[in-house]
Every structure is written in structure tokens, then in C-alpha cells.
Structure 1
Amino acid sequence: MTDAAAKPPPPPRPAEDPKAALKGVGLMCLAVFLFIMLEMTAKAAADHIPVAQTVWARYFSHLALMTVFLAPRYGKRLVATKRPGLQLARSLFLLTMTGCTFFSLRHLQMVEVTTIGFAAPFFVAALSVPLLGERVGFHRWTAIALGFVGVAIAMRPGLGVFQWASLVILFGAFMNALYLILTRKAKDEDPIVSIYFTSFAGALIMSLIVPFVWVTPSDPMGWVIMVALGLFGGLGHFLLILGHTMAPASLLAPFYYTQLAFSVGVGYAVFGDVPDGFTIAGALIVLASGLYLIYRERKKARA
């Protein structure tokens, strides 16, 4: 082998702008808060419209907002995907995840849905071996195993309070993992096109379903909720993209777990939900495992 000293040194990394990085972190946290507000709105929708109509409103409002703001700039490029089959598969996985999440929110506390939903990164790490050909070492497998232990504690299997809605959101987390893996495979696509395609496909599919379940809201709050679903989702995704243009993903990734704190606060303030010991213990294990998994990913990237 060639001696390491004979290899040319790697090119220096571009210096990060501390102010831009700080703005990126702030935008990431704001985006995560908007996603929690989206879940809060979906949970509140239970008193007004069925689940399928809630999912339709989330996608249709999101699509309308993106079209208004992006169409003048992008035009036909918004749907100019080079991999339509892959984009359609991504959209179906994300749509299924959204339906599972909105359904579970009607039966579980927000923090329970958030905690169990965090199984997605562990599914991604495990599935990256057969689907992406990546190697997962002992440390990452340990973090994955502990993450699933935390999720299992939050689900409380074998106890009287265990609900099958927990299995629904766990399946949703698996669908989210497949969506994220296909997103990696679509890395050669314009991110704006990818996001717009998921909104377009979701709105189109749900528009074929919603006439069979449509319930006209009996009060103005129902209409407000339907618009807010798209507003929170669309603005959250926009800020998420903007944040990643200002700071590297490795810096922003840990702040995604602020969802746990936001879900506890919003759930208590709006619905009076107080998480029990099992949920708190499971959430802390999931948080620690997720952050350690991120740490190992960053260490692997640097190596």
C-alpha cells in the first residue's frame, strides 16, 4: 500500500459562517415547532372532520401554498422530475406515514406519537444495510437496539394501557424510514421538485378518496383547521430547506429532537396531556440513542 504520508492532504473544509449557522439552527427549531403545531392541528381536527379529510386538507393546502409561491419562479420545472417512479414511491410512503400519524393522534398523546415516531431513524440505520449497501458497526447497532428499547418502553407492550394505535404509528415510522431511504436515492433531484412532487401526488390521491368521506365543517373552526394544516406543513418544510442552506445537516440533525420538548409543552397547554413515567423514560432513551447515532454518523463522515 502507498504510505499515508505520501498521499496528498485532503482539501481544507470551507469555514462555516457562525452567524449563518446560528440562523440555520434557529430556522431548524422553528420548522420543528411548526411540525408540532401541524400535529396539534391534526389532533384538534378529530372534533370536526374524519382522518382522510384531514390528510387531504394537509396536502391540498400545502400544494396550493407551494404553487402560489414557487410556480412564478420555477414554472414547469416544479414537476420536471427525472425519476417519476422513485418520486411516486416516496410520495406513497410519506402519504401512508401521514395517515398513520394523524390516526394515532386521535388515540394517543402527542408526546407518545412523537416518541414512537422517532423509531424512523433507527429503521433507516438498520435498513441502510440491505437497501443502501452501507456497513453498520457495533456502536451503531447498539444505538439502534437501545432506540427500539426506548420505543418499546413508550409503547408499554403487555400492559393494560397498551393501545393498538401505538402499532399504527410504529408502522408509520417504518413508512417514514422507507421514504427517507428513497429520498437519499433521489439526491440527484432538485429538493424543491421532490417536495412539490410529494405534495402534488398526495393531494391528487387524497382528492380521489375524500369525496367518499367528506364532512362539511359545521363551524368556522373546521375550515380554519383545514387551512392551518397546509400552512404549518408547508411553512415548516420551507424553513427546513432554508435552514439547511445556512448550516450543515450534521449540525442541524440533533435539533430535530427538540420535537420531544415541543410536543410535551403543546400537548399539555392545548390538551392537558401529562406524560407518564413510561413515556418519559422511553423518550429519554430514544433521545440518547438518536443523538449517539448522529454522533457516530458524523464521526464516520469525518473519517
Structure 2
Amino acid sequence: MTNTQTYTVSSRIDDRGDIARIRFSPKSGGQIIPFTAGAHIDIYLPDVDLWRQYSLCSDPAETGFYEIGVLKDPNSRGGSTAVHRLATEGAEFKVEGPRNHFPLDETATQTVLLGGGIGVTPMIAMAKRLHALGKDFVLHYCTRSEEVTAFKDDLDGSDFADKIVYHFDDQDDSQRLDLAQDLPAPDPDTHLYVCGPQGFMDWVIGAAEGAGHVPANVHREYFSAEVELSGDSFEVECAQSGITVTIGPNDTIAKALAKEGLKIDVKCEEGVCGTCITDVLSGEIDHRDQFLTEDEREDGDQLCACCSRGKGKLVLDI
């Protein structure tokens, strides 16, 4: 069941690199809904009519507020610029969640966190939790330069500052991230977590799995993705509602069904958040998302209706 609440911006810091650090507190007072490291919240931006997901960087032990970091990205579809414009102190927002599709395995004996740019936000929450548990971990934080490295002052003053390794693109090669040296040897009890731009993530994931780390131990969260939505037409039958539609070359399952009055909740429209996951009863799926794991794709029983397509005919359990 959707849990929508109203939160107020209780503070905002405009940090380095055009990143706004924003704290949300319950409008009605009291405590936030508890969350675990790796979780995100969904924020509704009314003037652009968009829901957007932002990873929480605050301490999971915090009970009074959620904190996010938002990069003002001129190439975004309007979400980040809207947040920067609207999220002034005292402003109210509809918030859903928290949800966690990127959970931290707290049983690991060794954890490596790899954040690229604004992708460091969930890593900060994970680092705080791992430190509280007394776990062995390291946080690799990669940015273009020290001048655009948000959170650095707080991280340098944290109790786990000695666990943080910075990598800046504009400095010499000796301090840049070297996956051949910086990744530990594969081990069943070693877990890797990566978040950042798609190219950065693909590089890290490919290198880690190529070095022998099993996919189940290489955790990833995409905050955006380049997705090709078009393709050959195909048919979708909805078993429960009795609706059958043809999805055209430039349409999506979610949009085509919405025209028939069957609404599937959609948030990111890029296949990264998992909101629109829909059960599939039969048919061959053309997965376009970055949310499902390879094992989940091979099961062939669910898809992201915002972007994935079918080959021939799909029967959905809706």
C-alpha cells in the first residue's frame, strides 16, 4: 500500500559541485519512518508533475529527518532542477517510502563501497551503518576534482575518515581508482556496492565480475540510465482485467495500458527504480531496464512496464 506523507524541508546546504544537501522532517512532527542503509525516498515535484527517487545519505540511526543530496544536472529531464528551485527551507513535499532496493548485507566480513559523483549518497549511509556495527569496510569516492566533492568536509570529520579513499580525475594517475589494485580478491564473504553514472558503474561491475566476484556479491543501484524505448510492435494481454492491446513501435506498456484505463504506477520512466514491476505469466520479454538482476531476468516472470518490451505476445498478471 502506498504511504504518502507530507514532509517539510528543515534545512538545506548548497555544497560543492552544485549539489544541494536537503533534510526533510515530518510536517506533523515526531519521528520519520525508519529506514535501512541503501534506502531511498520518492519525492513528488508538482510543477513538473514528476516523482523522483533520491537515495538517503543520513545515518540509519537518525530518527528526526531524512537527508538526500541532489546534483543540479542540466541534462536531466527536469527533476533535479526542480528540486534545486523548490526545496527551500519550510517548503512542503509529498514523500513516499522509504524503500530499499539496494540493501546492505550486514553479515559480510569485508565490504567495499564505490561511489561515483552523486552516487556516493547511499554509500555514506552504508558507511555510517558499517562503522556502527564495527565492520571492515572501505569507501572509494570518485569525482572530477576536489573542488566538486560534496560531503567532503563532513566525511573528513567523521569517525570513519580513515576508511575513505578519494580519487580525483584532475590529479595524477597514482591516486585514481585502479580496480586491479583497489578491489579485494573474490571471497564469498566480501561484498561490493557501486552507484554512480552508468559508464562508471558498467566499468566497475565488469571489472569486478571479470576478476571473479560472483554477481550476487556485486550490488548496484543506477540512479539514471540511457534506455531505448522503441522497438517492434507486440501484443499484451492482461489476464485479470481482460484487456488486450498492441504496443506500437514508439509506445510503452505502461502508457498503452493507461490509455485503456489500466494504470500501472510509474516513477522513473528509465527502468531504474522498480516501481512499475509487473508479473508476467507467459511470453518472451525484451528487458530494457537496469533494475532486475540477470537471475531475475532469466526467470522471465516480471518486467519493468515503463521501458521493457515483448517479442510476439506477453500475458501479464494484471
Provide the TM-score with structure 2 as the length reference. 0.20
Q: Which has the higher contact order (CA 8 A, sep 6+)?
A: 1
Provide the TM-score with structure 1 as the length reference. 0.21
Larger helix share, 1 or 2: 1
Larger strand share, 1 or 2: 2
